[in-house]
Structure 1
């Protein structure tokens, strides 16, 4: 929960808000100067400035340099935009990220707000920009806790798009549990040589690996014996790696792609090498609402509910109740399709 403003600042905010509500200051009217407010309310100049910044953040006033601070009309009051923070903007088109963004846009449009995509760290944002936004959906990749400190200091609501190592509210899709169930499903089909096409070693990928490792341990298999090929979600690299490992003498019987694009590249490589799914190889992925079921063979995958997550986070931000929610439970489901099964040789 965000801390309450100090008592003196709160006193100023409440006094001015009440006066605007009672129409002492009408829409479009310039407010008294900072010095005049300081003398009348008996607080410091810094407290006055902080209070005015908070009222501007609430969209109750606006400032024109050199002219003063004005009361905003009701017609002018509008929902602030929300930000989708993604340090690698070229990944916006990835299935899960695209679903998150689609859900954000649906909720924002319904409220008359906009969605802004930013690849800068919050430390690079100006105070004016922070005051102008309703909140931030954070994709954790390439961020550390100190990057989010400025958001906490400026009381900007934010929420991680998925479970991660960062501090703060987050979407909870139970990714470790999902990864465990996916790996366990392959083990139940008899697979013991399982390779990973992962993205990296951070955040949700670490949770996926932990879940897979738990399932392997239950089956008496050391996770370290499971080849892990990190691709940074590069489709071309995933295809090349898949070709190499499927040509090897001890090729895996199953491949887990850490998103559906990686899984699709494994299927593509298998087909080009003359392998048949699932008789020669099983492939599974992670993703959401995509064209996995339209493929040949249709792709077995964990469906992460990205669109629902994006929508609910933005609704919380625009409703000013994100701090009360803490975690937004979304969950997952697994679709077992034609790309996975018992190998002919098993």
Structure 2
């Protein structure tokens, strides 16, 4: 039985590869049962079982007397979109909530629904899978294998942010935004800058790459900028900033890798008696959630999460599953009163 299943899987894999090809001709019949039997060295019964499996998954149509054909994509305009995030409690995170708002606006314009799930596609029923127009994927805690079910079943998906996963992706220009943020601080005269980073490996890596470029363009050693990993824990960030600011040789600027971390830097500076921005500039990364509601108002990058959510859903309704696109979304860098010029010693 195990050998029979492996033979069937062999046939299915060969046909899935053909069906996923961007050069697939929907009017051209797939190889006949006899041809598949000969090419793959399996029994006729195994070929028929594999074809039945693909037919149940809505990937092929078997036309009596004519052959087996790739199924044309169904009209997905009335189907809902799924939002896949492995940590559903993080939907309240500012960027995620902006992303969600954008998706909700887009599906409302389409007259459909948005379904939120934390289960991987491998755990979905076939009925649920084929009821969807597509899937917006938040990459965190997922691997490429989790998306293979979507690829095999020709379900369009879009990654909501850059990651190590492959597929159509919303590119929110994190690296470019980080470059602009660091470049702005350098132009204000800052040379000693501390980083409050987190744990989102790919996005943090892009931020650091952009900042490193800005530093290196003017001959500053980026490696000399102290990098404090906070795991995005605001309590830890507050304690780190207190320690930093009590040192005799402290930085003149702090970059929080999200706005929550930057706020803790301002809070710690107030506690220690360091004036912002006169003696310390603080900038954040993330959005407009409270940047203009704290004292002093926080200089920050807004990554336009709402626009990203809209673009992702719009892509799914028009996409061919074989498309791999990078959908660029802009950012806003707003300089407020938490940062300013210093005298270069």
TM-score by length of 2: 0.76
Residue of structure 2 equivalent to 1:314: 313
79 and 237 in structure 1: CA distance in 2 versus 1, 3 angstrom threshold: farther
Aligned counterpart, 2:8: none
Q: In structure 1, how many angstroms separate the alpha carbons of the residues matched to 2:245 and 2:28?
A: 65
SS state of the match for residue 236, structure 1?
helix
SS of the residue 2:129 aligns to = helix
Q: Which residue of 1 aligns with 2:300?
A: 301
Query: Is the contact made by 2:237 and 2:264 (CA closer than 8 Å) also made in structure 1?
Result: yes
Secondary structure, in 3 states, of the residue corresponding to 2:58?
helix
Q: Is the 8 A contact 2:189 2:344 kept in 1?
A: no
* Structure 1 gap segments, 5+ residues each: 13-42, 57-73
For the pair 1:244 / 2:249, whether they are aligned, the reply is no
Report the secondary structure of 1:338's partner residue.
Answer: coil
Q: CA RMSD in A?
A: 3.0
Matches within 5 A, 1:1-346: 2-3=20-21, 44=48, 46-54=50-58, 79-200=78-199, 202-321=201-320, 324=323, 326-343=325-342
Deviation at 1:243, TM superposition (A): 1.9
Over 3 Å counting, the alpha-carbon distance change for 1:4 and 1:175 in structure 2 is closer
Q: Give how far 1:79 is off.
A: 2.9
TM-superposition CA deviations, 1:83-142 (whole Å, max 9, x none): 222233332222211111110111112223222233333333333332232222222222
Change (3 A) 1:228 1:120: farther
Q: CA deviation at 1:333?
A: 2.1
**1:130-179 superposed Cα distances (whole Å, 9 cap, x missing partner):** 22322222222222222322222222222121222221111112211111
Contact map agreement 1:278 1:343 (CA 8 A) in 2: no
Q: 1:88 to 1:237 in 2, by over 3 A?
A: farther
Show CA shifts across 1:164-200 (max 9, x none). 2221111112211111111011111111111111122
Contact 1:316/1:322 (<8 A) preserved: no
> Quick check: 1:102–1:307 contact (8 Å CA) kept in 2?
yes
CA drift of 1:221 comes to 2.4
Retained in 2: the 8 A contact 1:255–1:266?
yes
In the alignment, the residues of structure 2 paired with residue 277 and residue 230 of structure 1 have an alpha-carbon distance, to the nearest angstrom, of 22
Checking the alignment, whether the CA contact within 8 Å between 1:140 and 1:203 is kept in structure 2 is no
Distance 1:9 1:289 in 2: 50
State the distance in 2 between where 1:95 and 1:290 align: 7
Runs of 5+ in structure 2 lacking a partner?
1-18, 31-46, 61-74
- Give the match for residue 64 of structure 2: none
Instruction: Report the 3-state secondary structure (helix = DSSP H, G, I; strand = E; otherwise coil) of the residue aligned with 1:195.
Output: strand
Instruction: Find the aligned partners of 1:344 and 1:5 in 2 and give their Cα distance.
Output: 61
Q: 1:83 to 1:271 in 2, by over 3 A?
A: farther
Query: How far apart in 1 are the matches of 2:242 and 2:149?
Result: 45
Q: For 1:311 and 1:2, locate their aligned partners in 2 and report how far apart those are by CA, in whole Å.
A: 26
Equivalent residues, number: 297
- Counterpart of 2:13 in structure 1 is none
TM (normalized to structure 1)?
0.76
CA distance in 1, matches of 2:115, 2:228: 33
